[in-house]
A and B are shown apart, each in its own frame.
Chain A
Amino acid sequence: MMSRRSPRRRAVRLLGGGSIPTPASLTLRDEPAAPDPAGPRTPGSRAPAEYGPAKVLAARQSLEEAAAAMDVMLRRGATAAGIARYAHTAAGFYGPMGALVVGGRESHPLLLETAAEALAVLLERRGAAGSPFGVEEICWTNDPRSGAAGVEDLILATAVLREARLLGFVAVSAAHTGLGRATLAPSAGLRREGIILPWARAGEGGRLEVGLRDIAAANAEDPAAFLEDLQVHLSTLAFGLDAVEELLDQEGVGVLAAVAAGGMRGWKRALGRLFGRPESSILEGRLGPFAVQIRGAGPESPVAVSIGTDGSHGELTAAVARAAVRAAARQILAAEVPGGAVLGGASEALAITTPWDAGPSAVTTGAGRFAEAQLLQDAVLTAFADELPHLTHAPDAAPALLDLRGEWGDGCRFRLRLGLGAGAGASVFGDGLSHGASAFFPLRLDAVEAVERAAPIRITRFQLQPDSGGPGQYRGGLGALLELVLLEGRAVADVLVPGRPMGLRGGLRGAPGRLARVSEEDGTREDLGPAQVSLRLKPGDRLILASPGGGGWGVPYQRSIMRLEEDLARGLVSPTQSRNRYGLILKPDSLEKDDHLTYRVRHYLLTTLTAEDLIAGEQLLDE
């Protein structure tokens, strides 16, 4: 039994036990997850309205801590790199409609919210089939058509049942980068060999069915590690189930719904306040292929978010798009109200329409889910930039990803997946963080020494990339530069080098990511720019990879001279960029500024150019 493995396990007292029918009339979204008022009541149970603030808040706190613990358990317990090293995990409690009630503080936002989307699909399908949930039944999916974020992203869920009533779900989600033998590269051929699991009953009594489990494992890159990680999933689910059962024992069966109802009210109230002013009732943002329009409709109605696209998107599905918008809204709210970071209710407070609502997009494997979700999230943030600048920031740059696999000179194989952090966007509160892995890209570079001891490569340079931060009154964070040489054997490198993020409020774009290969044989250098490419490396070949810088915030000519001088002294901004982008003129052959010229140039530019010119940005400055 999975439950026996939970450290906080006590005997789970299932009052009714057995299987139950799922209500056929479930509404999947945009309705509060209130319990059926006509449903049976256990002794001592209470309706949500009967729960005072102390009970609701304490229950929420307990669930939040339990979800955080589940996340930790999932990450720490996992063996395979996908989870244990890169930490794409999420754990949470969901209501009987599939909507998120409370998630973990460190849960991956996309996985947390897509689990809600997927559970809604599960309920719809189970409801249509009249199929009940069993006690400690395990359901799983990694199918984007079932709401999952991608083939690598496996969701496991178990129902919370009391007296023939479905009270909610406990769900965990994690990215198994080896599932379906997925890679970071455009390896469509490999991907087609992968396995896609539509929502299915994968086991009961806390155990997975051996046949199903083994089929999935056979399609993982490392079957043994995958099986071990599945067991951690089960233990984590058991831990969460135990926590929610304890809470139900203590506070009655209505407590989960009371927490969910509180979350919904909170989200509506908070968003209603943001859209309370007439001038901010319609916000628009545009970034890359996405156009986002946000409309408030009063404090009690959901905020309408409409996504448009020019069709050049690659991998987004409706579920992932909705999850990304909710993640953006969560980020905006969390800037002022920390409770918003973990609390459910976003799916009821935001009515999101996407171009893919009618059906699945053409490509449904979700390979580029993180990159495109980040872009969409940033598009939402840009919509808020003018009206509510203190709640947002310029877009973060996406890290560069390197999947390196090959053989040592003696034929032994190696594989490394490395993420090179990028610059974070600046905000009205200051410069952006350099070399960070954004929320949608938790992949990080290992210690250089660990990399060199695991593969026949030597890293010859790993440093900040000066001038890469988007210029602005507040500068975007810097990207990083990684330079490596293959020492022996051979290797294939799948590399994703992201483009440049935009700046906001007059701030300029960060520098784009770069990729170059220098051949040892003939010394030729091949500059590949931002791209998603696959390269073959021979001994002596040098790979140079630079991640992009974050977007700048505000007009660069308004950056304080003191900050600029500091940037120059630290080598974060070159004299050329300080002159061309910031109007700081140095005396010839020196780092000392020319006060007179600097004043004149900055004054001229600020008084001559219109705000539109400045916001138009880089082209003008380049001239």
Chain B
Amino acid sequence: MADSRIRLGIDVGGTFTDLVVCDEGAGLLALHKVPTTPQDIAQGLLTGLKKTGVPAGAFAEIAHGTTAATNAVLERKGARTALLTTEGFRDLLELRDAGRRGLWGRQSAFDPLIPRHFRFEIPERMDARGNVVLAPPGEALAGVAARLEGEQIEALAVSFLHADRNPAHEKQAAALLGRSRPDRPVVLGSAVAPFADERLRTATAALAAYLSPLMRAYVAGLARVLTASGVGAAFRFIESAGGSSTPEEIREQPLRTILSGPAGGAMSGAALADLLRLPTAVTADMGGTSFDVTIIEAGRPGLTGNRRLEFGLTVAVPAIDIHTAGIGGGSLIAIDEAVPDGIQVGPESAGARPGPACFGLGGRKPTITDAALLLQRLVGVREDLGLRPLDREAAAQAMLAEICPMLNLEPAAAAGVVLEVAEARMAGFLGTQLAGRGVFPGEASLIAFGGAGPVHAAAVARRADLRGVVVPYLASGLSALGCLLAPPAKSAMVSVDEPLASLSPERLAACLEAAFPGRTGQGRLRLELVLHRGESRYEDLLPVRDLRESAEARLRRYHAFTERAYGIRPSPEAVRVARLLGVLEEAAPSLPLASLLEGTFRRRREAAALGRPEGRPDRYPDGAAGSGQGVPTRPVESLPIGAPAVGPALVVLPGATAYVPPRTSYHVDRWGNLWMEAKG
């Protein structure tokens, strides 16, 4: 429907798939949740589409975060891929950086994406300046071409030494080997990661080739399923850098979707921080399986150039700087028997199936959600979400079976121990990320979302000494909303290799032009400088906020960062700009977020005032699972805007519950955001 203004954002999480329907005509947002179907994502999407109640043909646009690429890596279900390297270096993928799986214990073997017998060496060489030392003989390439055919190779990566300085040999090899099978993807290291570090370049090229056929098939398959269902909407994928891409772009550059799942939440968090004029914020997206933290400064999330997918596999992909801890609502709780009262929370999760014990889907092991329910931090009856009532008794039984004997405590008391540990871990993790970015906790507000984030937000903020807490109205659908907020964008990384102290605006402009040829004036830029300091193998990131900023001013900003993060002012000679990392947002986000949120919240409040909250019960009994006692329960729509109140309280949001601890003041704003103070 060409004139439709209904858009749909979809976030496929480990436990739930969230769908946010945005009806710009009506000025409304609506959230829907369906269980994730890991075996068949498309099927889950269709179920979700039906649940929205919107005719399939009515959508103008669908934006989607996909885990298909990430899952293919984890399950090693990518293409049959070969790798061409410089002679003597075919094991780069397997040698990694000599890191270990962990500091302790057994170190089991590593399984590279491309097995050794599909890694071919070519006698060629460039020197460190990019001068030709040995040209690749045609017969060697021809021999490999024959092998590729014989082995039925579906995709090819080419990565030669010093190709960042001179990619001629890579291009020569690609031209020859691509000639025989034009349909077979050929990925060059110098194209996907044009800077020094052959390990990163080779891994990135290998992964891009490995995913390419699969993502082509995924995009085509999804289009087929949606078309068959009557969906004619334009489809976009959210990228890991927070932009969005067309299916055609994803077919060509599948790496853009790697680990893109949490990017939607970060984009929403940034938009909210901007709307609420929070100079520094930290988003905590806690769903069923993970706790994702992003630091937002001046309304923008930071970027990073490297992403670690798993042990031994780090690739160069521009991405929002998101840090993940394996702790979520579904995280399993286990006893650590070596330690008195020792408890381990996560990283294993109960996932979508069987889920926490209280979901009543067969789970027998206790999770954080079970503990929260037992402590009356969750509303147990959420028929509005299509969920069956949470089973408090099952949660107690799980706790009794697994945890209580060790602690010698009743289930509720044991649940208290579990949450103390879990929240201490979250707060510590959050504090570590803030320290790493040189941010004082007292300056940062916590934007907590995801299904479980609002439950723990106040306690975590208090422990981490943060400024305050904001729980967005659509907390459990923020990642899906973020898919709609992600503008069409291009991302790039280019080599700079210049001292920070001498990086002039002109030189920066030249690098920018190299990153986005002919397009630098055509959108909003998010840029970071990747810095190398002294002999450190770590990289610092410095956002570029003004292209005209002088080198001296930029150095002063960097010193401000290092003083806060490390307590030092490094000598200017020791700091080099290694790379420029950028995202070019080709269009501003077209979603009028403020008016949509305000309109939605107003409409809900009006409905609540009439005693008919849409799809929600008239009232929630106090306490969990209708126990009728304990923590007062308040739908957020029933709270007067701006009027302060004091906890304890359970504030019911669409799809989530926020827990306000005792003696904590809170209020709601006109957009439906719940504000809590961090100090109780």
A225 x B463 contact (CB < 8 A): no
CB distance from B360 to the nearest CB of A (A): 27
Stretch at the interface among A4-12, A138-146, A296-304, A364-372: A4-12
Given the contacts A262-B339, A464-B94, A69 and B435 also touching, CB distance less than 8 Å: yes
Instruction: Provide the residues of chain A in CB contact with B423, threshold 8 Å.
Output: 58
Instruction: Provide the residues of chain A in CB contact with B337, threshold 8 Å.
Output: 269-270, 273, 336-337
Instruction: Provide the residues of chain A in CB contact with B100, threshold 8 Å.
Output: 424, 433, 436-439
B88 x A80 contact (CB < 8 A): no
Stretch at the interface among A147-155, A196-204, A315-323, A443-451: A443-451
Given the contacts A64-B428, A73-B566, A435 and B128 also touching, CB distance less than 8 Å: no
Instruction: Provide the residues of chain A in CB contact with B427, threshold 8 Å.
Output: 62, 65
Which of B198, B341, B425, B566 has the largest count of A CB atoms less than 10 A from its CB? Answer: B566
How many angstroms between the C-alpha atoms of A425 and B108 in the bound complex? Answer: 9
Which of A69, A231, A433, A462 has the largest count of B CB atoms less than 10 A from its CB? Answer: A433
Instruction: Provide the residues of chain B in CB contact with A333, threshold 8 Å.
Output: 338
Instruction: Provide the residues of chain A in CB contact with B196, threshold 8 Å.
Output: 447, 449-450, 453
Report if A77 contacts B (CB, 8 A): yes
A238 x B98 contact (CB < 8 A): no
**Mask: chain B, 370-412; 1 = CB below 8 Å from A; 0 = not:** 0000000000000000000000000000000000000101000
Given the contacts A8-B431, A334-B104, A436-B99, A448 and B89 also touching, CB distance less than 8 Å: yes
How many angstroms between the C-alpha atoms of A447 and B89 in the bound complex? Answer: 12
Report if A579 contacts B (CB, 8 A): no
Tell me which of A61, A262, A270, A572 contacts B341 (CB under 8 A).
Answer: A262
Instruction: Provide the residues of chain A in CB contact with B236, threshold 8 Å.
Output: none
Report if A106 contacts B (CB, 8 A): yes
Tell me which of B197, B336, B538 contacts A337 (CB under 8 A).
Answer: B336
Given the contacts A232-B567, A447-B197, A339 and B91 also touching, CB distance less than 8 Å: no
CB distance from B505 to the nearest CB of A (A): 27
CB distance from B678 to the nearest CB of A (A): 13
Stretch at the interface among A48-56, A212-220, A284-292: A48-56
Given the contacts A58-B423, A435-B94, A444-B97, A330 and B566 also touching, CB distance less than 8 Å: no
A77 x B432 contact (CB < 8 A): no
Which of B98, B200, B432 has the largest count of A CB atoms less than 10 A from its CB? Answer: B98
Instruction: Provide the residues of chain B in CB contact with A430, threshold 8 Å.
Output: 108-109
Number of interface residues of A (CB under 8 A): 110
How many A-B contacts are there with CB distance less than 8 Å?
292
Given the contacts A55-B420, A57-B417, A84-B534, A462 and B117 also touching, CB distance less than 8 Å: no
Instruction: Give the residues from 73 to 117 in chain A that come closer than 8 angstroms, CB to CB, to chain B.
Output: 73, 75-81, 84-85, 105-107, 109
How many angstroms between the C-alpha atoms of A448 and B201 in the bound complex? Answer: 12
How many angstroms between the C-alpha atoms of A45 and B372 in the bound complex? Answer: 29
Instruction: Give the residues from 75 to 98 in chain B that come closer than 8 angstroms, CB to CB, to chain A.
Output: 88-92, 94-98
Number of interface residues of B (CB under 8 A): 84
Instruction: Give the residues from 260 to 305 in chain B that come closer than 8 angstroms, CB to CB, to chain A.
Output: none
Given the contacts A81-B535, A337-B339, A460-B88, A447 and B566 also touching, CB distance less than 8 Å: no
B116 x A61 contact (CB < 8 A): no
**Mask: chain B, 305-320; 1 = CB below 8 Å from A; 0 = not:** 0000000000000000
Instruction: Provide the residues of chain B in CB contact with A55, threshold 8 Å.
Output: 420
A76 x B538 contact (CB < 8 A): yes
Report if A335 contacts B (CB, 8 A): yes
Nearest A residue to B433 via CB reads A69
Report if B622 contacts A (CB, 8 A): no
How many angstroms between the C-alpha atoms of A504 and B162 in the bound complex? Answer: 42
A266 x B338 contact (CB < 8 A): yes
How many angstroms between the C-alpha atoms of A570 and B114 in the bound complex? Answer: 11
A464 x B106 contact (CB < 8 A): no
Which of B106, B425, B431 has the largest count of A CB atoms less than 10 A from its CB? Answer: B106
Instruction: Provide the residues of chain A in CB contact with B562, threshold 8 Å.
Output: 77
Report if B611 contacts A (CB, 8 A): no
Instruction: Give the residues from 424 to 457 in chain B that come closer than 8 angstroms, CB to CB, to chain A.
Output: 424-425, 427-429, 431-432, 434-436, 438-442
Q: List 12 interface pairs A-B (beta carbons < 8 Å), by A numbering.
A: A7-B438, A56-B341, A62-B428, A65-B424, A65-B427, A77-B568, A228-B568, A228-B570, A266-B340, A337-B339, A393-B105, A461-B88
Give chain A's interface residues, CB within 8 Å of chain B.
2, 5-10, 52-59, 61-62, 64-66, 68-69, 72-73, 75-81, 84-85, 105-107, 109, 224-225, 228, 231-232, 234-235, 238-239, 246, 262-263, 265-267, 269-270, 273, 330-331, 333-341, 343, 393, 396, 399, 419-421, 424-425, 427, 429-439, 444-450, 452-453, 458-464, 477, 480, 483, 569-572
Apart from A80-B535, A235-B568: 17 A-B pairs, beta carbons within 8 A: A7-B435, A7-B565, A61-B421, A76-B540, A77-B562, A81-B534, A106-B103, A231-B568, A337-B338, A419-B98, A420-B98, A431-B108, A444-B98, A447-B198, A450-B197, A462-B95, A463-B91
